[in-house]
Each structure stands twice: as C-alpha cells, then as structure tokens.
Amino acid sequence: MKLSRKRQRTVASKSKLKILFRIVFVLVAAAVITALSILLGTHLKQKAETAESVLHELTDVIPGGGGREEKTLPEGVPAKYKDPDLFVCAADLDIAAVSEEKLIDRILTLPAVYNAVSVRVTSGGSLLYRSPAIAALTHDRVPDGGDKDSVTLATVKDIVTVADRQNYRTSLIYETTSSVLAKDGDADFYTRLDACVVGELAALGPDEILIDGLIPEDGTLDFDTLSRAVKYLAALRESSGDAALGVILPASVFHDATAAAQIVTLSDYADLLAIGIAADGSDESSAYDAVSSDCYSIRGNFAAYNLRAVIRSSDKNAALGAYRALLDVDAKNVQFTTWIADPSRKSSDPAEPGGTEDEPETEGRTNENAMTKDKYENSGDEGGTSPSDGTGSESAVVWGVPGV
C-alpha cells in the first residue's frame, strides 16, 4: 500500500525529530560528562596544591625554607653540639620531687649508661617553676621570696649549668596545649605565651627543648594540621636561640600510613622528632609486652628519623619494662620522664651493696674524675671540666649507650 504524500511528509518529519533528539541528547550528555570531569579535576588539583603548598610554599614561614640551617661551629666546641642526631639515654631529674642539692647530686652520680639529663618543666599542663616570662605576659608581678621549697628559674639554670660542666646534654621538656593549632583567636595567644617560655628556657643554655602535647594522644597529622604546626614551630624558633627544637608526637601518628609525607616534612622543620611511649601496666613484664606490641610494626621509624623514644610513666618498674622493649626494637635513643637511677638493673634485682636506688654506682665516672659540687661552686673555668676516660688522660665523651 502506497502512502500518500502527506503521510510520507509526516513520517519524514518524525524521523528528523528523532534524529535531532538523539543529537541533542548526545550533546547534553557530553556537556554533563565534561562538566563533571572539570569539577573532579578541580577537586584533585586543589588536593594536590594543598600537599604542594606544605612541601614548597611553607618556605615563606621560615626564611630559607627547606629545613634547618647548617651551623658552623668554632674549633674546641664539645662534640655534643656538633651532631644533632646523636644517640642519648636521658635520666629525668624530677625537679618537682626533690631539693636542688639532691638534683645536683643525681647529676654527679649518674651511671655510665646515661649521657644526658632530662628536665620536665611542666606537669599536667602547668609549669613546675615560677616563670618571670608568664608573669610579665599576664601583667603579674613575680612574687618576692615565697615558699622556700618552690622551684624557680634559677633552680633550672643551676641544673643546666652543672650538667653542662659534667659534659652531659640537657633536654628540657615543655608541654604545650593543642589549642596552639586551633583555628580561632586563642591559637595566637597560646603561641605567643609558648614563645615567651621557650625564650626564657633557651636563655638558660640547654642543648634542646622538646615540645610535648602539640598533637593530642590518638591524634593525626593531616596536611592542615602540619601547616599550622610548622607555623607554630617557626614562631618558637625565633625565641629558641641556639637550643635545638624538637617535637614529641603520639604513637598514633606513626601508626597512620597516610601520615608518612607529613612526618617527613615536619622532620625538616624540627631539629629532632620524638615519639611518646605510654608505658602502661603495673609491672615490668606487662609494660614490656604492651610497648613491644605497640612499637614492633613501626620499628623502622626509629632508625629512619633517629626517633627519640620518650617513656611516659610515673611507675619505675613500668618504665624499665618499656625501656627493654624499646631496645629490642632497636630504639637506642631513649629518654625517661621518671627518675630511674640505673636502667641496666631489672626491677627484680636487689639493690647494689652499700647503695640505694637513689645512689647508684657510677661506672666509668670515678671520684677522681667526677666533679664535686664544691668544685663546681669554686670553679672559675667557664668551660667546665670534661670527665676522663679512666686512663688518666682527658678524652672526648663517646655519645652512645653502652651495650646497645
């Protein structure tokens, strides 16, 4: 049956509309796909720029960018100032627990396993000494006299001076608050406060100042947090003088596989990195098991960053268990935050004959070579006295942990 011309025109018209509809559909689909691709590309570009800004554009925060500057030191400077990556085993002096005289006696009788002393200047977020810097910042007058047993800035200065003359490194641990990384106005105030305290401590002449609490426990180090942390460190570095500036990070940061690039970048802006080790457990054995389990999977970080392991425990037996667990994962760079007279002894070992835990034998530091408190008080030698190697001739101190 032959269609009429009118019917043929109607069919042809419908066919053309279908073709036109298909063309329009294809064009619209292509436009939508293109738009989505542009949006996705923009999103990925922004993420890449965020990462790149941390790695490159942060050079505006610290003059010279790219990490710390190499320092040229004159001849005769002790070796401990030349190598920022040396291994240390630091004994905490616990300035809030004993008198200044006892603190100095502890320095003079440290066993040979130690080559550094650690001083926590904060506890629970509060300073353990009366700070003129904070008093000035808060427009408060520094009290005259006061409690005779209170710790003053002079106490910390005396500890640093004696330790330096005994050729020990001195490490001051200052606990800040994560508020310094907040996005509100409080961050500027807390950063300015911390910079004042760091400047006050740096003037005492310590080898290093470790900042604790910057990243909260179980916290993460994303790129945004990293950017603000770097700016915070830059503000502190303006006040830190010749003291090395380090950061204690929680173990959760090193367990986070996505934080590797951020840790590398942060290590460029801090003189040293440390990991806070929670020595949980009521005895040496349980603390050993807990720390071994927590640190085994991240053991490679200790060598990669020469990572300092800061043992956080007020229990001596737990701290000893954590110490032995750290040695088993090749963490030779260890710092205590509780007084351990001799970490080479097990908690079950009896006390040394004729001594107590607070008065250990000082292997490698004889009475003839160890400088007494009287000698320190009467010495006119600004450079202090270097301990002997036991052979009668003076020699450089080997900054390592014996037997590790």
Q: What is the pLDDT of residue 204?
A: 94
Cβ burial, residue 353 (10 Å; 0-12/13-18/19+): exposed
The least confident of 64-78, 137-151, 196-210, 343-357 is 64-78
Q: How confident is the model at residue 25 (pLDDT cuts 50, 70, 90)?
A: confident
Structural domain boundaries in the chain: 8-43, 80-378
Least confident of 27-31, 103-107, 195-199, 258-262: 27-31
On the question of pLDDT at 166 being above 80, the answer is yes
Residue type, 315: D
Say how many C-beta atoms besides its own lie within 10 A of residue 124's C-beta. Answer: 6
Q: Which tokens hold the place of 220? A: 């993460």
- Kindly state the tokens that stand for 21: 């509809």
Q: Containing H/E element for 89?
A: strand 89-92
**Burial of residue 210 (number of CB atoms within 10 Å: 0-12, 13-18, 19+):** buried
CA separation, residue 45 to residues 50, 111, 221, 224, 253 (Å): 9, 56, 21, 16, 26
DSSP β-bridge partners for residue 209:
172, 245
The residue to which tokens 């830059």 are assigned = 234
Q: What is the largest CA-CA distance in the chain?
A: 129
- Which of the four pLDDT bands, split at 50, 70 and 90, describes residue 30? confident
State percent of the chain over pLDDT 70.
Answer: 67
Whole-number Å distance between alpha carbons of 104 and 370:
12
Question: Model confidence over 65-85: pLDDT tens digits?
Answer: 333 344 343 344 344 333 444
| Residue 74 burial (CB count, 10 A) | 5
Return the pLDDT at 368.
30
Q: At what angle do helices 316-328 and 284-295 cross, to 10 degrees?
A: 40
Q: Which pLDDT value is given to residue 124? A: 80
Taking 70 as the threshold, does the pLDDT of residue 151 lie above it?
yes
Cα distance between residue 252 and residue 262, in whole Å: 13
Residue 366's pLDDT is 33
Residue 52 has pLDDT above 60, yes or no: no
Confidence of residue 86 (pLDDT cuts 50, 70, 90): low
Query: Given a cut of 50, is residue 100 above it in pLDDT?
Result: yes
Task: Pick 197 or 386 by higher pLDDT.
Answer: 197
Region of residue 76 (left: phi > 0; alpha: psi -120 to 50; beta: else): left
**Interacting residues of 73 by C-beta distance below 8 A, sequence separation 6+:** 81, 82
pLDDT at 205: 94
Q: Which among 81, 56, 90 has a CA at the least distance from the CA of 271?
A: 81
Beta strands at 244-250 and 272-278: parallel, antiparallel or unpaired: parallel
Query: In a 3-state reduction of DSSP, which class is residue 208?
Result: strand
Give the number of residues written for the chain. Answer: 404
State the alpha helices, DSSP H only, in 90-242: 100-108, 132-137, 153-165, 186-202, 223-237
| pLDDT at 46 exceeding the cut of 70 | no
Give the residue with greater pLDDT, 241 vs 387.
241
Please enumerate in sequence order all residues whose Cβ is within 8 A of that of 45, keeping only pairs 6 or more positions apart, or say none: none
Lowest mean pLDDT among 2-11, 18-27, 46-55, 77-86: 77-86
Cα–Cα distance between 230 and 386 in angstroms, integer?
A: 37
CA distance 150 to 103: 14
pLDDT at 83: 46
Question: 43 falls in which pLDDT band (50, 70, 90)?
Answer: low
The most confident of the ranges 13-22, 129-138, 236-245 is: 236-245
Residues 170 and 207: their CA atoms lie apart, in Å, by 5
pLDDT confidence bin for 247, thresholds 50/70/90: very high
181: tokens are: 């990384």
Predicted local confidence at residue 80, as pLDDT: 38
Helix H or strand E segment including 31 = helix 5-55
| Residue 366 token pair | 């004889």
Q: 346-355: list long-range contacts, CB under 8 Å, 24+ apart.
A: 346/284, 346/320, 347/283, 347/284, 347/316, 347/317, 347/320, 347/321, 348/284
Phi and psi torsions of 175, nearest 5°: -95, 120
Helix (H) or strand (E) holding 116: strand 116-120
Third-level CATH fold of 80-378? TIM Barrel (3.20.20)
pLDDT digits (tens, 9 = 90+) for 307-347: 899 998 888 999 999 999 999 998 888 999 989 988 876 65
Please give the pLDDT value at position 60. 44
> How confident is residue 182, by pLDDT bands cut at 50, 70 and 90?
confident
- The model's pLDDT over 366-398, given as tens digits with 9 standing for 90+, comes to 333 333 333 333 333 333 333 333 333 332 222
